[in-house]
Amino acid sequence: MSRPIRARIDLAALRHNFAVARRYAGTTRLFSVVKANAYGHGLLPCAQALAGLTDGYALLDLADAVALREAGIRQPILLLEGYFDAEELPILAEYGITPALHRADQLEEIELAGLPRRLDVFLKVNSGMNRLGFTGDALTAAVRRATASPAFADVTLMTHFADADGPRGVAWQLDRFHTMLPCWAGPVSLANSAALLRYPETRGDWARPGIMLYGGSPFADIPAEQLELKPVMTLASQIIGVQEIGPGERVGYGGTFTADRPTRVGIVACGYADGYPRHAGTGAPILVDGRRTRLLGRVSMDMLACDLTGLPDSGVGSPVTLWGEGLSADDVATAAGTISYELFCALARRVPVDFVDGEAGGRGGRETD
C-alpha cells in the first residue's frame, strides 16, 4: 500500500510492560487482558508474545478465546462478560474456557447442560460499579450453589473497581466486597491496571492488567513514562503537502483555525477513517521530523493539518508521529478529550500494521481479528 500511514506494534515493549505489572503483582497471578483485539494491537501476536510470561488471558469474545486455544495457548482464559447464550456452553467445556457469571440463571443453565467436564467459573460481585454482578442474598445463594454443585470446579470471586484511577479510590468497594461474604476463603480477582499500580491491598489471587500492558497510563495525572511503561503502538505517517497561508486565512472544514500570522501548513495522510479522533482540534500534539508541533483545524476523513511554521526544514515526505514512540498517546487523548484506550481500539482496519520484536528480529503482517 503506497499511502504512507502505518502502525507499528513493538512486542518487546509489550513484554517490558508486562514485567512492570509482574513487579507490582508480586506472587499474584496475572490475567493479561487482550479484549478488543488486544486493545487494537493484534490479539494473536500479543497473546503469543506473552505466552511464556503470563498466567492467563482475559477477553470478551468466545471466538477469540477459541482462536487462542487453536493457536496453542494453554493458560487459563477468562471471558470477562461470561457467555451470552446457553448454546455456547459445550464450546466452553471443549476448550476449557472460564466464564464470569453474573446472573443466577447462568448457574442453572450450566447445571442443566450436562457438560462432559466441570467448569471453572468466576462469580462477578457487584461491589458498587452497578453494571454486572451479584449482590446481597443473590450473591450468597450463587456462591453456595456454585461451590456445592458437581457442575462446577474451581470458583473465584471477582469484582471491578469504578474509581481506582480517581479520588474516591477503592476502599469503599473493598469494604463492600468483604462485607458481603465475610467468610469467603477461596480465590479472588480484584485489581485492574490502576488498582495494581496504586493499591497493593487489591492484588488478591488474580489481577487483570489491561491498559498498562500497552503503554498507556490509567491515571490522568501520572504519565506512562513515570510508571516505567513503554508505548507499544506507534501510529506514523508523512507530510504529503504544504500550504503557505497569510493572516486571516483559514484551514480545513468549517475554517475552525484562522491564522494570525504567515503560517506553513503541513497536510498529513491520516484522518478519522484511520482511527485518529475527529474531536481533536487545534493544539493537539503531533511530531514532525521528531519535533513537537500542533494540529490545525478540524480532522477530516483522510487528512489532517499541522503547523510547520517553526519547522522550516520539514516538508513533503517528512515523517509524522501521531502517537507512540516520542509522543504519548495519553497526551494526544487528553488534547482530544478522550483516553488512550479509545485511540488504540479505534485503529482502523485500513491502516497497515507491522509487528516488530526487538528481541526476535522483526516480522510484518496485519492482525485484524
Which positions are catalytic? Answer: 35, 253
What are the distances in angstroms from CA 39 to CA 193, 215, 232, 354?
A: 14, 11, 11, 16
**CA–CA distance, 193 with 284 (Å, rounded to integer):** 26
- The residue type found at 250 is R
Q: What are phi and psi of 188, to 5 degrees?
A: -135, 155
Nearest to 46 by CA among 78, 26, 71, 23: 71
**Residue matched to cell numbers 479484549:** 35
Q: Cβ neighbours of residue 89 under 8 Å, at least 6 residues apart?
A: 83, 109, 110, 113, 115
- CA angle in degrees (0–180, nearest 5) for 212-340-304: 145
Nearest to 224 by CA among 250, 244, 197, 251: 197
Q: Is 354 exposed, middle or buried (0-12, 13-18, 19+ CB in 10 A)?
A: middle
Listing DSSP states for 199-251 in one string gives -GGG--SEE---GGGGT--S-TTS-GGGGT----EEEEEEEEEEEEE-TT-EE
Using the Cα atoms of residue 97, residue 100, residue 102 and residue 107 in order, give the sign of their dihedral: positive
